[in-house]
Amino acid sequence: MKEELIIKAKEILEANFQEGGFTIPCQGLYPFQWKWDSGFIAIGLAYYNIKNAKREIETLLNAQWENGFIPHIVFHNDSDTYFPGADFHKSELHPLASKEYRSTGMAQPPVTGFVLQKMLNIAEDKEDMLQFIDTQIDKVFENHKYFYQHRDIHNEGLVYIYHNWESGTDNSPIWDDIWKTMDPPKYSFERRDTTHVDPSQRPSKREYDYYLHIIEIAKEHNYDDAKIAELSPFLVQDPLFNAMLIKSNAALIDLYEKLGNNKEKVSQLKKWQEKSIKGFNAKLYDAELGAYVHYDLRNNKPIRFISSSSFAPLYAGIPDMERAKQMVNTMMEKFGGEDKYLCASFDPTSDRFNPKKYWRGPVWINLNWILFYGLKSYGFTKIAERVKQDSIELVEKEGFYEYFDSRKEIRKTEAGGYGGNNFSWSAALLIDLINN
């Protein structure tokens, strides 16, 4: 059965691979290259097609801006099946944007550092992979430098995101109170996502108004970071995003040390790392909730809700053992009942939980993958194993969907796979999970 899953996963990755040397997340719904998707995809590809795994990283990093910024979507190709596309985002407004590739002007979780490290672990020919990493690693370093220089406005070691699309957890209930502070115009535009996916599983039209409005503000100021920090109604320190940066810092330190001759970069990374871990633990841990939470920088307050992002710091080794235990208790109490698959993307005991709607509740394979390794590294082997087995069972039962219902009982009457099907990161990360 596992062999069949791997064969199917490879078929999906092959079908989603594009001529330009990158993989789309899903046909129709997401027809371009997405930043964190690409990273997860490269991990899966590294098991059986090193050449394409490398190209995936190269094609993403080729679109880096002169200031080190790496965009969340690279529009290598034209497609009218997605909104908003290149003509809406207009990355060319920023003076340092890539002249060769059009893109968005926003980021996504910085996974590329730890992806390179993971590729090295997977590759059989380590020497060859190290040589490849040597050609790419400085770009990732420059990306981290960009974050620390432009997005840590209070010098806390914590970087902000200015848009929910930067978080990757697009319509999470975490943002609901921020939307209440805004009153954007009702834009007229043609949604494309809801022609591919049942609208009840996607964000609402009004939510899209908020999303577009933040981009309009950024565009008015040519995507200038300082202006965005000053004016964006959405300015958040996200525990998932920052944990990915910290995990990638650690990976870069390890890789530079393996490559030798990079003392200055290693010492810079270590400085960032120390400060970030300290700032993270001091500011984002909510002892009462027993988990890390987001912080709303614009409105100066913590956002006190638990989501799967709250547990991502385990993957980056951020909490001490005592906190890690509290976090696991919280996770098992709220998300881990026998009637549920691990791990819902939002607190199932909250009245904001929605089991079918995108990032408001469903299980996502990439977050499960992050949790699997995080739990394992702290010695929570049994729970880690459950996260892995639940992920495999969901895909076996439903197919390689984008997200899944966490409630076991609904399977008696209906299917529980939602969003896009033949979804690339579900395929790529399943290959890795099965191999570990």
Q: Where along the sequence are the contacts to ligand 2M8 (CB under 6 A)?
A: 25, 30, 34, 36-37, 72, 165, 168, 170, 193
Nearer to ligand 2M8 among residue 170 and residue 177 (C-beta): 170
Give min distance, CB of 345 to ligand 2M8, in A. 10
Q: Is 78 a catalytic residue?
A: no
User: Alpha-carbon distance 395 to 390, whole Å?
Assistant: 9
Element (H, E) at 34: strand 33-34
Nearer to ligand 2M8 among residue 25 and residue 68 (C-beta): 25
Asked whether 295 and 234 are in contact (CB, 8 A), the reply is no
Residue from 37, 152, 402, 405 carrying the catalytic annotation:
402
User: Alpha-carbon distance 204 to 209, whole Å?
Assistant: 9
CA torsion through residues 61, 63, 69, 70, sign: negative
Q: Is 402 a catalytic residue?
A: yes
Nearer to ligand 2M8 among residue 41 and residue 331 (C-beta): 41
| Residue 204 phi, psi dihedral angles, 5° rounding | -80, 170
Nearer to ligand 2M8 among residue 36 and residue 147 (C-beta): 36
User: Alpha-carbon distance 323 to 239, whole Å?
Assistant: 15
Give min distance, CB of 174 to ligand 2M8, in A. 14
Give min distance, CB of 224 to ligand 2M8, in A. 22
Nearer to ligand 2M8 among residue 289 and residue 367 (C-beta): 367
| Cα distance from N-terminal residue to C-terminal residue, the chain | 16
Nearer to ligand 2M8 among residue 22 and residue 30 (C-beta): 30
Give min distance, CB of 216 to ligand 2M8, in A. 16
Give min distance, CB of 3 to ligand 2M8, in A. 27
User: Alpha-carbon distance 330 to 307, whole Å?
Assistant: 11
Residue 436, exposed/middle/buried by CB under 10 A (0-12, 13-18, 19+)?
exposed
Radius of gyration, alpha carbons of the chain: 20
Q: What are the CB-based long-range contacts (under 8 Å, 24+) for 318-323? A: 318/243, 318/246, 318/277, 318/280, 318/281, 318/292, 319/281, 319/285, 319/292, 321/378, 323/281, 323/285
Cis peptide before 84 (omega within 30 of 0): yes
Give min distance, CB of 69 to ligand 2M8, in A. 16
Residue from 58, 134, 142, 170 carrying the catalytic annotation:
170
Catalytic residues, by residue number, are 170, 402
